[in-house]
């Protein structure tokens, strides 16, 4: 059998563009500063696959995402160890009054990831939001917060002190650099609040640097930015750290790739960030991977021609994405 890291039949540019559909999907609420998520989905030979690096990413960074799309759509995938994945709710940086409506979109989820450190907001906003999540989930619920590298070490230390009483499962990417994470862990070890690394893994030239430096207790990994399921599994194995498999606001197609990764991980201690189809007001399939009883299934996704047509990107945006594929493919 061909190795899952090397497609049995690697598509050329003409095939990629022929199989590509560019979509523009509205979100239920602003997330990462956007209200519309653009993506390319491919009707590939083995299964639908996705290429959706955020628009601000350069071609070199986007190349890993295209490698993942080709691997997933044109290659056999690692064996699954489980048939469904427990997922967390994702709470954007909304006012506390809106939290109840957000959580309602994630039925059965026992864990919530709460966005903090939004540039336009204050620490008091973060505390109020997290407090409301704790109230709604109750004492048995699990809360993790994600700062997306938005704090310096001093800010992170003070923020974690204020948020720690809400019994945090971990704090994700509180600071941007590996060096800052090392220093922060040294300062807060007495609080017993674990640190998780996301951007320090998926955006780094060396994704294992964070593990070697002792900068994190948990790795948050995404299949697309790491070049596909098999490559991500190799990084996890080499790191020796517990893992959370997450998404990058993917369509259900991208989430199916993440679910395959989560299903192949030997030990999956934490709920995964793969329930984010609930943040989309539209999808590319008639059967989206929405959380049910706090889980999503591990399965391929069937593209809906009607949805692809209804949410097709404008001609200008479609041309932009096709040109991006054209530039990125030679970088693989």
| pLDDT tens column, 49-69 | 999 999 999 999 999 999 999
pLDDT of residue 206: 86
| Mean pLDDT score, 180-193 | 96
Q: How confident is the model at residue 22 (pLDDT cuts 50, 70, 90)?
A: very high
Task: Tell which residue, 63, 27, 79, 106, has the closest CA to residue 225.
Answer: 63
Known catalytic residue at 113? no
pLDDT of residue 8: 55
| Mean pLDDT score, 102-110 | 97
pLDDT of residue 7: 52
| Mean pLDDT score, 113-120 | 96
Q: How confident is the model at residue 204 (pLDDT cuts 50, 70, 90)?
A: confident
Q: How confident is the model at residue 6 (pLDDT cuts 50, 70, 90)?
A: low
Which position among 10, 113, 115, 203 bears the catalytic label?
115
Known catalytic residue at 115? yes
What's the distance, CA 155 to chain centroid? 25
Q: How confident is the model at residue 207 (pLDDT cuts 50, 70, 90)?
A: confident
| Residue 226 clears pLDDT 60, i.e. is over it | yes
Q: Give me the half-sphere count of Cα atoms (radius 13 Å) on the Cβ side of residue 16.
A: 23
What's the distance, CA 186 to chain centroid? 27
DSSP 283-328: -SSSS----BTTEEE-------HHHHHHTBPPHHHHHHHHHHHHHH
pLDDT of residue 71: 98
- Mean pLDDT for the chain? 95
How crowded is residue 259: how many other Cβ atoms within 10 Å of its Cβ? Answer: 31
| Residue 232 clears pLDDT 60, i.e. is over it | yes
Q: What share of the chain is helix, strand, coil (3-state, %, to 5)?
A: 40, 20, 40
pLDDT of residue 3: 42
| Mean pLDDT score, 183-212 | 92
Which tens digits make up the pLDDT trace of 270-281? 999 999 999 999
| Mean pLDDT score, 76-80 | 97
Q: How far apart are the first and last CA of the chain?
A: 22
| Mean pLDDT score, 245-268 | 97
Which tens digits make up the pLDDT trace of 89-102? 999 999 999 999 99
- Which structural domains are found in the chain, ordered by start? 13-78+306-331 (3.30.390.10), 84-303 (3.20.20.120)
Q: Which residue has the tokens 């619920």?
A: 141
Strands (E), 190-305: 195-197, 218-221, 243-245, 295-297
| Mean pLDDT score, 200-217 | 90
**Which residues belong to the annotated binding site for Mg(2+)?**
146, 172, 198
């Amino acid at each position: 059998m061909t190795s899952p890291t090397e497609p049995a039949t690697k598509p050329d540019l003409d095939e990629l563009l022929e199989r590509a559909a560019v979509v523009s999907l509205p979100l239920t609420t602003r997330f990462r500063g956007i209200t519309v998520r653009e993506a390319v989905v491919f009707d590939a030979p083995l299964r639908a696959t996705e290429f959706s690096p955020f628009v601000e990413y350069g071609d070199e960074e986007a190349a890993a995402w295209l490698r993942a799309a080709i691997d997933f759509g044109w290659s056999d995938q690692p064996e699954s160890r489980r048939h469904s994945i427990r997922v967390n709710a994702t709470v954007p940086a909304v006012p506390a009054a809106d939290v109840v409506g957000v959580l309602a979109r994630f039925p059965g989820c026992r864990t919530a990831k709460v966005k903090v450190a939004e540039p336009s907001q204050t620490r008091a906003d973060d505390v109020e939001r997290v407090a409301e999540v704790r109230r709604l989930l109750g004492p048995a619920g699990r809360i993790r917060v994600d700062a997306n590298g938005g704090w310096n070490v001093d800010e992170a230390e003070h923020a974690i002190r204020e948020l720690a009483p809400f019994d945090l499962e971990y704090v994700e990417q509180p600071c941007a650099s590996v060096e800052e994470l090392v220093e922060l862990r040294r300062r807060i070890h007495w609080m017993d609040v674990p640190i998780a690394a996301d951007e320090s893994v998926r955006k780094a030239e060396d994704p294992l640097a964070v593990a070697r430096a002792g900068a994190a207790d948990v790795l948050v990994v995404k299949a697309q930015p790491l070049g596909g399921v098999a490559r991500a599994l190799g990084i996890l194995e080499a790191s020796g750290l517990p893992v959370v498999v997450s998404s990058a606001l993917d369509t259900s197609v991208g989430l199916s790739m993440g679910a395959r990764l989560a299903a192949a991980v030997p030990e999956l201690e934490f709920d995964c960030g793969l329930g984010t189809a609930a943040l989309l007001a539209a999808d590319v399939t008639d059967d989206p991977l929405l959380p049910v009883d706090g889980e999503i299934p591990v399965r391929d996704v069937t593209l809906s021609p009607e949805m692809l047509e209804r949410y097709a990107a404008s001609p200008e945006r479609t041309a932009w994405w096709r040109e991006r594929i054209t530039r990125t493919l030679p970088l693989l």
